[in-house]
Structure 1
């Protein structure tokens, strides 16, 4: 979401309403305006775009009819929710109970995040670099405080910042749904992973290496670091699951021995 309304530069087009619609559509596609973002007040937006208020209203009505914005009486115009849930609640429930789905989720993330890290190393702006650095600091602070909830949010924001820095709009929209699943803990339980890690230091070090390579514009290293991070997550979960199985088997054997 942006508060920099300089993105609404004056309109210069024969069809004013068409130009306003095209301008706002472009800002939405490129995620300058994200779902839930509030547009400037009508008078302010008309002044910024250099159009009349009737023409602006015409454009906003068309955007509302297209389902791109929601106009809330007395509150203003907002970018509509444009990304649906990746899966239905029923399917999410099934997936959460089946371990193979989790590893398919990691397989998907491995490829997409490696791709995003490579692009981010090649394309990031100073704004992107600041966002990535800020999330590393947030993860460090949550680690020091032992605040696992804050750590999880910073973790997700960090990966989202990398996808933003890729400047690939399709990748950005697709990964928004994936990170929503992550945030809801459907597949990825960071608290469980941190327990396997022991202190969380390994995860933090991996995130730092990804950030370092991206900010240094080392595309190969950024891609490799992103892959290594997901490899670590997968190996850790597999180890934890194996350990849990061994413990369950050991308990069963002890119970069987006592019963015998």
Structure 2
């Protein structure tokens, strides 16, 4: 997964994702390769493509052919050319919700339950697929993110934990190799990054130390690494259902505290 916010890292990674063209129709082959990278979530919204010269060198084709292919991609609204800046993947997924609906959800926290219900089904399905389809590279990505989760936990770094948590679940979605899941959940995780449906302090308070959450993530990771789809799906479901139950219990506790405080005020 390429992070468009880290351009140096993105440029280095992109050097390895484009391959020489050996098809009959050079322009169509260039278009097809870039479309496939977008479809598979390797190139994501806002990500910058290499220059024409670099693309031509990596694919083993002429710059005019690259220019023609990029023009077709732009006409199909898949990329955007910004004068003086470069060529970027167009905003394809967009916002999962309008600003007005986001504000409405923020005012009605019961929506968090709907969010978790959705994630239970999608991430259980994704974990099942990932355990079957994950490549050696997918497992290496998951290993590195799992290490980041553990390091953040040991350091008691809330922000790093949140970032690693989202990257962990995103890596599982990527490892499912289901393009619809990749793009759909990318939009959902964008909301999570905005803290609309995420409160790390609450999650850490579920078990006092966050140890159970870490153990749940490791169970999902180990199941995928072992190639056990049933175990992976169950672990993913159990993890989010645990968060869901804990959230409901916390809401009930908060309501009891409010009622008791009101009674106390009347004494």
TM-score with structure 2 length normalisation? 0.91
- Residue 151 of structure 2: aligned partner: 141
Structure 2 residue matching 1:217: 3-state secondary structure: coil
Give the superposition deviation at 1:106: 0.6
Structure 1 residue matching 2:87: 3-state secondary structure: strand
Number of paired residues?
257
Candidates 44, 47, 65, aligned match of 1:34: 44
Give the superposition deviation at 1:50: 2.8
Separation in 1, partners of 2:54, 2:107: 51
- Residue 165 of structure 1: aligned partner: 175
Candidates 12, 29, 49, aligned match of 1:19: 29
Separation in 2, partners of 1:49, 1:194: 47
2:14 paired with 1:8: no
Instruction: Write out per-residue CA displacement over residues 181-222 of structure 1, whole angstroms, 9 at most, x where no aligned residue.
Output: 111111221221212321111110100111011101111111
Give the unaligned 5+ runs of structure 2.
3-9
The answer on whether the counterparts of 1:120 and 1:163 sit within 8 Å (CA) in structure 2 is yes
- Residue 6 of structure 2: aligned partner: none
2:40 paired with 1:47: no
Instruction: Write out per-residue CA displacement over residues 110-130 of structure 1, whole angstroms, 9 at most, x where no aligned residue.
Output: 000000100010010111111
Q: Please, which moves more after superposition, 125-134 or 157-166?
A: 125-134
Q: Spell out the pairing of 1:141-220 with structure 2 (5 A cutoff).
A: 141-220=151-230
Separation in 1, partners of 2:159, 2:235: 24
2:76 paired with 1:66: yes
Give the unaligned 5+ runs of structure 1.
none
Give the superposition deviation at 1:4: 4.5
Q: Please, which moves more after superposition, 85-94 or 31-40?
A: 31-40
Separation in 2, partners of 1:128, 1:14: 32
Instruction: Write out per-residue CA displacement over residues 26-77 of structure 1, whole angstroms, 9 at most, x where no aligned residue.
Output: 1111122222332222122113323222221111112122221122223322
Structure 1 residue matching 2:188: 3-state secondary structure: helix
- Residue 120 of structure 1: aligned partner: 130
Q: 1:220 to 1:181 in 2, by over 3 A?
A: same
Give the superposition deviation at 1:223: 0.5
Give the superposition deviation at 1:136: 1.3
The answer on whether the counterparts of 2:112 and 2:197 sit within 8 Å (CA) in structure 1 is yes
Between structure 1 and structure 2, the one with the greater Rg is 1
Separation in 1, partners of 2:19, 2:234: 40
Structure 1 residue matching 2:266: 3-state secondary structure: helix
Give the superposition deviation at 1:161: 0.3
Considering only aligned residues, what root-mean-square deviation do their CA atoms show, in Å? Answer: 1.5
TM-score with structure 1 length normalisation? 0.94
